[in-house]
């Protein structure tokens, strides 16, 4: 009954083929789900929602008059990714993050890529995320991009594209971990019957990476998570990750620079902090180096960082690599630093900074998705096919006034996945945000966060715009096995048992 009238439409469905049969890697899951009655599935959906409520898995929506904090919507039908496809995604992400790290290091030092005219110098200099204060910095171990969340989408033909890179303070990994926890409790028999790559060890891998980049002081490094505070949209995640790693959650007012070191005020006096996993923007880090009006950071922090006496993760200045205009040039960046083509392609992108691209965008606003370079979370965006004439006129004015601040991309037929609606499933558009850690080596968390546009027909998956999430399972291709069957993990992945 669950999938009896399910219609994949003119889209790639992540679970089912056009004839309604499950994809080979989803056969076990679909078979198990179909063995439940509609009442049983609704009961388990409600159970999962109660668990999320009890665990306080929330996010904030700025400017929402209904309240600042809400439960993150969750759908119990997981998304399946075949291990063979995941292996390619993993290789592509490692290649991309390695190249972007080399790019950031080059931009703040010799700038070979500009001198070789691979990129127009003007678009780097004019990027709002370019930080003059970071020129000449040498982050510990030469790593700038410690944590990356790369958004992937699949077009209707099945091709996976990189939609954007998030290198400053990528959020959402806490929902990956909690979604998995809820699924194990809600569907233990389904989970046991599938062979799913684990995600549970992410906090320990994150802590290992943070300790790896600590200054060499001879002792055990002290790590802390720096949050803007309880009103930040991702405060739940900040506190969750600190708790999972067993480290302190701090705010800027908890810190002081003493004798050339960063220290936290404690009931036992000042305690040195060696590594700060900062969840605040560059501008707020240090009012003496960036925004003088900021009250969130620590005056003098950058001086300590330059002296190599504290590690900041991600390094200040990494935002230059996820500028939406620079995104269009990432395939060239990969070719320049890696000497090979990008494994994961970009979505074709028009940069309004370029006169020819700008004219094309203005002539095809009703067909394109236009994005403001310095916005995120689904804000500052025009979805051309769903827009009104007045909205297009407004965006044409904005583009003409500030062309550097806009890009445009074709409207993709985003893939869909089944979502439980009453007693049946309906298709909803999805994307995928895998998380990458760059420390001793580069590690890609198997799966990542599948975001779902829960509103029927919507292409916007952001939680601030009404989106929800699913658990993402990386499983053996054509998995038909039992709970204890062996499987060959994707390259670089850990063991199969969860």
- Per the model's pLDDT, the better-predicted residue between 153 and 68 turns out to be 153
What is the structure's pLDDT at 188? 86
What is the structure's pLDDT at 496? 29
What is the structure's pLDDT at 491? 36
- The pLDDT tens digits of the residues spanning 210-257 come to 999 999 888 899 999 999 998 888 898 999 999 999 999 999 999 999
Over 90: is that where the pLDDT of 204 sits? yes
| Token pair 């003409």 in the structure block, residue | 400
% of the chain residues with pLDDT over 90: 71
- pLDDT class of 498 with cuts at 50, 70, 90: very low
Over 70: is that where the pLDDT of 1 sits? no
Q: Which residues contact 478 (CB under 8 A, 6 or more apart)?
A: 24, 25, 27
What is the structure's pLDDT at 486? 33
CA dist 468 and 327 (Å) reads 26
What is the structure's pLDDT at 392? 95
What is the structure's pLDDT at 37? 87
Question: Quick one: CA dihedral 386, 460, 468, 29, positive or negative?
Answer: positive
- Per the model's pLDDT, the better-predicted residue between 164 and 62 turns out to be 164
CA dist 199 and 220 (Å) reads 26
- pLDDT class of 393 with cuts at 50, 70, 90: very high
What is the structure's pLDDT at 233? 81
What is the structure's pLDDT at 126? 92
Three-state DSSP string of the chain:
CCCCCCCCCCCCECCECCCCCECHHHHHHHHHHHCCCHHHHHHHHHHHHHHHHHCCCEEECCCCCCCCEEECCEEEEEEEEEHHHHHHHHHHHHHHHHHHHHHHHHHCCCCHHHHCCCCCHHHHHCCCCCCHHHCCCCCHHHCCCCEEEEEEEECCCCCEEEEEEECCCCCCHHHHHHHHHHHHHHCHHHHHHCCECCCCCHHHHHHHHHHHCCCCCCCCCCEEEECCCCCCCCHHHHHHHHHHHCCEEECHHHEEEECCEEEEEECCEEEECCEEEECCCHHHHCCCCCCCCCCCCCCCHHHHHHCCCCEEECCCCHHHHHCHHHHCCHHHHHHHHHCCCCCCCECCCEECCCHHHHHHHHHCCCCEEEEECCCCCCCCEEEHHHCCHHHHHHHHHHHHHCHHHEEEEECCCCCEEEEEECCEEEEEEEEEECEEEECCCEEECCCCEEEEECCCCCCCCCHHHCEEEEEEEEECCCCCCCCCCCCCCCCCCCCCCC
- The pLDDT tens digits of the residues spanning 292-349 come to 888 899 999 999 999 999 999 999 999 999 999 999 999 999 999 999 999 999 999 9
CA dist 35 and 145 (Å) reads 45
What is the structure's pLDDT at 162? 97
Average pLDDT, the chain: 89
Over 60: is that where the pLDDT of 110 sits? yes
- The pLDDT tens digits of the residues spanning 465-487 come to 668 899 999 997 755 544 333 33
* Mean pLDDT, rounded, for 206-213: 98
- pLDDT class of 193 with cuts at 50, 70, 90: confident
* Mean pLDDT, rounded, for 402-415: 93
What is the structure's pLDDT at 242? 97
């Amino acid at each position: 009954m669950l999938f009896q009238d399910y219609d994949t439409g003119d889209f790639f469905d992540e679970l089912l083929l056009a004839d309604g049969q499950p994809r080979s890697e989803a056969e076990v899951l679909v078979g198990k789900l179909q063995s439940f009655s509609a009442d049983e599935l609704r009961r388990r959906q409600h159970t999962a929602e109660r668990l999320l409520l009890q665990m306080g898995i929330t996010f904030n929506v700025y400017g929402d008059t209904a309240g600042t904090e809400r439960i993150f919507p969750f759908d119990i039908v997981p998304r399946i990714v075949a291990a063979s496809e995941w292996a390619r995604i993993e290789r592509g992400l490692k290649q991309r993050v390695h190249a972007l790290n080399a790019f950031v290091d080059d931009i703040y030092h010799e700038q070979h890529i500009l001198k070789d005219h691979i990129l127009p110098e003007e678009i780097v200099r004019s990027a709002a995320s370019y930080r003059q204060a970071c020129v000449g910095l040498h982050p510990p171990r030469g790593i700038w991009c410690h944590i990356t969340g790369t958004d992937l989408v699949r077009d209707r033909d099945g091709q996976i594209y990189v939609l954007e890179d998030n290198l400053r303070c990528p959020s959402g990994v806490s929902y990956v971990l909690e979604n998995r926890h809820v699924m194990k409790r809600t569907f233990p028999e389904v989970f046991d019957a599938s062979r799913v790559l684990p995600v549970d060890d992410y906090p320990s891998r994150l802590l290992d990476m943070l300790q790896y980049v600590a200054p060499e002081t001879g002792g055990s490094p002290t790590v802390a998570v720096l949050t803007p505070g309880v009103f930040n949209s991702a405060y739940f995640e900040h506190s969750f990750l600190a708790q999972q790693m067993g480290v302190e959650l701090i705010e800027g007012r908890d810190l002081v620079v003493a004798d050339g070191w960063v220290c936290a005020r404690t009931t036992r006096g000042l305690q040195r902090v060696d590594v700060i996993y900062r969840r605040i923007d560059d501008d707020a880090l240090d009012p003496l180096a960036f925004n003088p009006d900021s009250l969130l950071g620590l005056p003098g922090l950058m001086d300590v960082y330059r002296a190599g006496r504290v590690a900041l993760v991600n390094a200040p200045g990494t935002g230059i690599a996820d500028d939406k205009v620079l995104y269009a040039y990432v395939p060239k960046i990969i070719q320049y630093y890696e000497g090979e083509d990008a494994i994961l392609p970009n979505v074709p992108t028009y940069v309004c900074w370029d006169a020819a691209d700008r004219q094309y965008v203005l002539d095809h606003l009703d067909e394109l998705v236009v994005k403001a370079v310095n916005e995120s979370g689904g804000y500052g965006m025009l979805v051309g096919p769903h827009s009104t004439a007045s909205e297009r006129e407004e965006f044409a004015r904005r583009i003409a006034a500030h062309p550097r601040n806009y890009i445009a991309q074709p409207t993709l037929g985003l893939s869909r996945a089944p979502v439980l609606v009453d007693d049946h499933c309906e298709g909803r558009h999805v994307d995928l945000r895998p998380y990458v850690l760059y420390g001793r080596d580069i590690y890609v968390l198997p799966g990542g966060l599948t975001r779902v546009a829960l509103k029927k027909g919507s292409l916007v998956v952001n939680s601030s715009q009404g989106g929800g999430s699913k658990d993402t399972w990386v499983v053996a291709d054509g998995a038909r096995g039992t709970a204890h069957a062996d499987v060959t993990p994707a390259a670089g992945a850990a063991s199969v048992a969860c």
